[in-house]
Copies of this chain bind each other. A is one copy, B any other.
């Protein structure tokens, strides 16, 4: 796959499995989610490999790290700019592809060189709403 090649890293079987899992599971999995899934294919898989691979991919810009939970990080294969809606009950995360132009006051732009922004919406999804 083209994206894989662009990463310009050694594509070991473990790394491929991690990448494939991320590509096929767009529900923003955590390191543990990835570990559990990939361990089925590679029983000797360790957390170190998951974290090492994630860091390598991060540095190459192949994935995004979501800091939406405080307890654990979640990962996103989709690196095109987008925002998220998070269900505060089940922690489901839904993507939102919209480019919001949000003006910043001058006193901020004088003080900060802006790099990027995230907009996060919190609410309850229909499922969690039903079972009140």
Within 8 A of B (CB), among A76-119: 85, 87-88, 94, 96, 98, 100, 102, 104-105, 108, 110-119
Interface size range of chain A in the complex: 35 or more
Q: For A104, what are the chain B residues with a Cβ–Cβ distance below 8 Å?
A: 85, 96, 121
Taking a contact as CB atoms closer than 8 A, the residue among B67, B98, B110, B121 that contacts A112 in the complex is B121
Taking a contact as CB atoms closer than 8 A, the residue among B73, B117, B120, B129 that contacts A113 in the complex is B129
The answer to whether A112 touches B125, judged by C-beta atoms less than 8 angstroms apart, is yes
The answer to whether A117 touches B116, judged by C-beta atoms less than 8 angstroms apart, is no
What's the minimum C-beta distance from A104 to chain B, rounded to whole angstroms?
7
Q: A2 near B: Cβ within 8 Å?
A: no
What's the minimum C-beta distance from A69 to chain B, rounded to whole angstroms?
7
The answer to whether A112 touches B88, judged by C-beta atoms less than 8 angstroms apart, is no
**Nearest CB to that of A88 among chain B residues?**
B115
Q: A44 near B: Cβ within 8 Å?
A: no
The answer to whether B112 touches A123, judged by C-beta atoms less than 8 angstroms apart, is yes
